[in-house]
Amino acid sequence: MKRLRIAIQKSGRLTDKCLDILDRAGLQFQFSKSRLISPCETFPADLLLVRDDDIPEYLASGTCDLGFVGENLLEERRLERQDTPGFEVISRLGFGKCRLSLATPNDVKDVSLDWYGNKKIATSYPAIVTNYFKERDIPVSVIEVSGSVEITPSLGIADAICDLVSTGSTLKSNGLKESQVLLRSECVLAQSAIGLQPEQADLVSKLVGRIEGVQLADKTRYVMMNAPKDQVEVICDILPSMEAPSVMELKGQPGKVAIHAACAQDIFWETMEKLKAVGATSVLVLPIEKVI
């Protein structure tokens, strides 16, 4: 059977989270410093460790079947080529969240979009920036830089920048302020548009199902408590359960039952206090590792 090729960032912000999600989905790899491809021992897949910028191209060319990558890079590739993108997003992963924003030096007052007219904007995302201003009919000069975008205004290379922002502290420490957001991004799982063999497509479905199970587990809590029998209905109304809770007799305590429920959200202190107020005791809230 042809193995799946999965690309992730070799070393960077997304690496640990990607490896963690794959590990929790049951994919453990044999790593070796000298090898760029790491075979998986527990699933017919191989891991390609590469620069994140290369992942959109690897997907489009079919060098890898799946890639974990920021939407910022997929969108840049899509606009750059103007052809069929060569990949599709099959899962949103909820980490690596950031936004691609315009920013100007702090001393620029009232930064409306028109302010950018005929200005020089430094960015590592030239296609996204060009397309954004073209759609709005504002002429700008886009300067492509591959890193340290934030220092370009103080070096006199550009009037403004467009870069990824998460906390905003890099902008702040370089005397810049964010104005418009062009794109919101997170890490996604993308699939190559180059057709997979049926067996590989089954592997992809299996992997996506497992990843969804891991994501659901992160949001799910298992709640257990003892409660007076006559309060079961009230307690079921309080609990945000995924399915009907299990209610079990307690040995030697005829007026009490044990209630167990999987809840599709975190259980806040307020909910626990409500449960206590209607007579629940020994209320336990546990994390869940996997859901299927």
204 CB-side CA count, 13 A: 24
Q: Nearest-CA neighbor of 210 among 93, 39, 95?
A: 93
Among 43, 47, 52, 142, interactor with ligand PRT by CB under 6 A: 52
Burial label, 15 (beta-carbon count in 10 A; 0-12, 13-18, 19+): middle
Among 7, 9, 259, 275, interactor with ligand PRT by CB under 6 A: 9
3-state SS assignment for residue 222: strand
3-state SS assignment for residue 117: coil
**Cα gap 194→85, rounded to integer Å:** 11
x/- contact string, 262-291, with ligand PRT (CB under 6 A)? ------------------------------
Handedness of CA 39, 44, 49, 50 (dihedral sign): positive
- With binding defined as CB under 6 A, does residue 178 bind ligand PRT? no
Binding partner of 22, given Zn ion, ligand PRT, none, CB within 5-8 angstroms per partner class: none
Among 165, 176, 203, 211, interactor with ligand PRT by CB under 6 A: 165
Among 62, 94, 168, 279, interactor with ligand PRT by CB under 6 A: 168
Nearest residue (CB) to ligand PRT, 12 versus 44: 12
Among 14, 204, 257, 259, interactor with ligand PRT by CB under 6 A: 14
Judge contact between 223 and 258, C-beta under 8 A.
no
- Map tokens 């409500």 to a residue: 274
Among 46, 52, 150, 159, interactor with Zn ion by CB under 5 A: 52
Q: Nearest-CA neighbor of 196 among 65, 87, 86, 63?
A: 65
Among 10, 15, 53, 81, interactor with Zn ion by CB under 5 A: 53
- Which two structure tokens, joined as six digits, stand for 246? 């299990």
- With binding defined as CB under 6 A, does residue 74 bind ligand PRT? no
- Which two structure tokens, joined as six digits, stand for 202? 């089954």
Binding partner of 166, given Zn ion, ligand PRT, none, CB within 5-8 angstroms per partner class: ligand PRT
> Per CB under 5 A, which region of 47-55, 92-100, 115-123, 257-265 contacts Zn ion?
47-55
Nearest residue (CB) to ligand PRT, 149 versus 257: 149
> Per CB under 5 A, which region of 53-61, 195-203, 228-236, 277-285 contacts Zn ion?
53-61
Nearest residue (CB) to Zn ion, 8 versus 214: 8
Task: Please report which residue ranges of the chain form alpha helices under DSSP H.
Answer: 15-24, 55-61, 71-81, 126-135, 169-173, 198-219, 232-238, 269-277
Nearest residue (CB) to ligand PRT, 74 versus 261: 74
* Number of residues forming the site for ligand PRT (CB under 6 A): 21
User: CB pairs under 8 A, 24+ apart, for 245-252?
Assistant: 250/226
Among 128, 164, 261, 275, interactor with ligand PRT by CB under 6 A: 164
By the criterion CB under 6 A, which residues form the site for ligand PRT?
Answer: 9, 12-14, 51-53, 70, 72-73, 96, 98, 163-170, 185
